[in-house]
Amino acid sequence: LDGAGIKYWQRVGRRVAFVTGRESAAVARRAAELGVTLLYQGAKTKLLVYEQLLAELKLTDEQVAVMGDDLVDLPMMRRSGFAIAPPGAVAEVRRGADLVTVHANGDTKRTASGSAFAGQKLKIELFREDDFVNQVSRFMEGEIVYLRGTMGMMNMAADVTDKDQRTRLVIVYQHSWSTGGDAFVVKRGIKSVKDLKGKTIAIQAYGPHVDYMTKLLSDAGLTIKDVNLVWTKDLVGPEGDTPMAKLYDENVDAAFVIIPDALALTNQGNVGTGAEDSARGAVIMLSTKTASRIINDVYAVRKDYFDQNRDEVRRFVQALMIAEEEVRDLYKAKSSRYNKMLSAAAGMILDSTGAIVDMEGMAFLDAEMARYDGNVKFFTDKNYPRNFSKLNNEIQTAYIGLGLIARKAALLQGNWDYSAFTGLRYANRV
């Protein structure tokens, strides 16, 4: 529902309420612009706010329409007389850092003049590919030359890409670290990771949580042989072949999920009751909010393309660094340009230009941008315990034990001269 729709709805005497689980100055400004006086932010349980609204306005469920685009909206939607979901609802995956990429392109799918990519003489077309296996297939065929994923996903892909020298992975840029966007949900009786011995865990195959799982088990003195794994095809949502759906099975004890699914399973971060989309007794044991240096997002490029277009790839990385600084400035200023940026990114990443609150949370709460300094540290600091080489070795050792890869692969990196990345205002020079 866009701004014009809200205005027309109010002109015919109807009321509009915004109910969000987050606190956002951007939403408050938008509500004021549209004349929406019923604004409820930081709502831990949206259904309680819904019931409060019904009582205050003397309405019945049949007189209310609810538009929602996330799992936590379902209780309200099911109660209301008319429920609406935008295309692609509940299709959210962990892509907060991609706000930077969208902004680097001028907040459009094709490079806009005046954007960071245009400033580096690049022409980029952005599209979303949620299936990593399909992404790798297109990469191998040469349909795309860049690969986007976590370091864990890159290490799984390397088992395929390394079979051809042309398609070997060259990691050129670290986007971010996950700082709350991913969670581990367990049922009753599991108080620590050590309690997982003999238990059954649901996790997406070739997804972003595999290295998270192996790290947790290793730190607790366990191995993959100590647990039973249920591999799923998909990552998100309460239905189909997903970790969230598997956790409803009484024979599954735990699951690795993204944070919206974790909140739904646990009755908004409490204890699941079995009602709505929660799983009875489910709680969030751990999340990347406290384990913030396990899952990181990177860009890789085909080796043949990198060898022939090294300067172009360097300009791609430079543009991302410039765009990250611009995003940082917009976040501080919270101007109308900030709202426009969030809306554009939400349209491409979440399929809804109105999902600015979710986009803001994904980019600034659930992820920590690596920035220029973080890239220098990750790729060049030999003493950094979570650097490129050490992280790859840790991941590959675990994956061989899992049988996910046959042998260790030497992932390549760009080996940039970081002192040559000029025009950055917040970078600590090297």
Q: Which domain holds residue 79?
A: 3-84
The angle that helices 210-219 and 388-402 make with each other, rounded to 10 degrees, is: 90
The pTM assigned to this predicted structure is: 0.71
22 and 78 fall within a common domain: yes
Classify the C-alpha dihedral 208-217-184-231 as positive or negative. positive
Establish if 404 belongs to a structural domain.
Answer: yes
Residue 87: predicted pLDDT: 40
- Residue 199: CB atoms within 10 A of its CB come to 16
Establish if 283 belongs to a structural domain.
Answer: yes
193 and 248 fall within a common domain: yes
351 and 398 fall within a common domain: yes
Structural domain ending residue among the three candidates 287, 302, 332: 287
104 and 144 fall within a common domain: yes
Establish if 60 belongs to a structural domain.
Answer: yes
Backbone angles phi, psi at 241, to 5 degrees: -95, 75
Establish if 91 belongs to a structural domain.
Answer: no
Q: Which residues pair with 185 in a beta bridge?
A: 255, 284
| Type of residue at 369 | M
Establish if 426 belongs to a structural domain.
Answer: no
328 and 302 fall within a common domain: yes
Under DSSP, the state recorded for 112 is P
Backbone angles phi, psi at 392, to 5 degrees: -60, -45
Residue 351: predicted pLDDT: 81
262 and 305 fall within a common domain: no
313 and 407 fall within a common domain: yes
In the three-class reduction of DSSP (H, G, I as helix; E, B as strand; rest coil), residue 270 is classed as coil
Tens digits of pLDDT across the chain (430 residues): 567 788 878 888 889 999 987 677 778 888 888 899 999 987 766 778 888 999 999 999 889 988 875 545 656 776 788 877 554 333 233 467 899 999 999 999 999 999 999 999 999 999 888 778 888 888 998 999 999 999 999 998 998 899 899 999 999 999 999 888 899 999 999 999 999 999 999 999 888 899 899 999 989 999 888 999 999 988 888 989 999 999 999 999 999 998 889 999 999 899 999 988 999 999 999 999 888 888 999 999 999 999 999 999 999 999 999 999 999 999 999 889 999 999 999 998 888 898 888 888 888 888 899 999 999 999 999 999 999 999 999 999 888 887 778 788 889 999 999 999 988 999 875 4
| The two three-digit tokens of residue 75, written as one number | 């209780």
373 and 260 fall within a common domain: no
Residues 6+ apart with CB under 8 A from 205: 231, 232, 233
Residue 385's Cβ-count burial label (10 Å; 0-12, 13-18, 19+) is exposed
Q: Where residue 18 sits, what CATH number does that domain have?
A: 3.40.50.1000
Residues 6+ apart with CB under 8 A from 299: 146, 147, 148, 171, 172, 173, 175, 316, 317, 320
Structural domain ending residue among the three candidates 262, 287, 312: 287
Distances (CA, A) of 208 to 148, 288, 297, 330, 397: 11, 12, 9, 29, 17
198 and 283 fall within a common domain: yes
Establish if 196 belongs to a structural domain.
Answer: yes
Residue 57: predicted pLDDT: 92
Residues 6+ apart with CB under 8 A from 310: none
Backbone angles phi, psi at 400, to 5 degrees: -65, -40
Establish if 90 belongs to a structural domain.
Answer: no
48 and 123 fall within a common domain: no
Residue 58: predicted pLDDT: 92
| The two three-digit tokens of residue 226, written as one number | 């100590």
With beta carbons less than 8 A apart as the criterion, state whether 211 and 217 touch.
no
21 and 37 fall within a common domain: yes
Structural domain ending residue among the three candidates 256, 287, 318: 287
176 and 298 fall within a common domain: yes
Q: Where residue 193 sits, what CATH number does that domain have?
A: 3.40.190.10
Query: What total of structural domains would you count in the chain?
Result: 3
Establish if 13 belongs to a structural domain.
Answer: yes
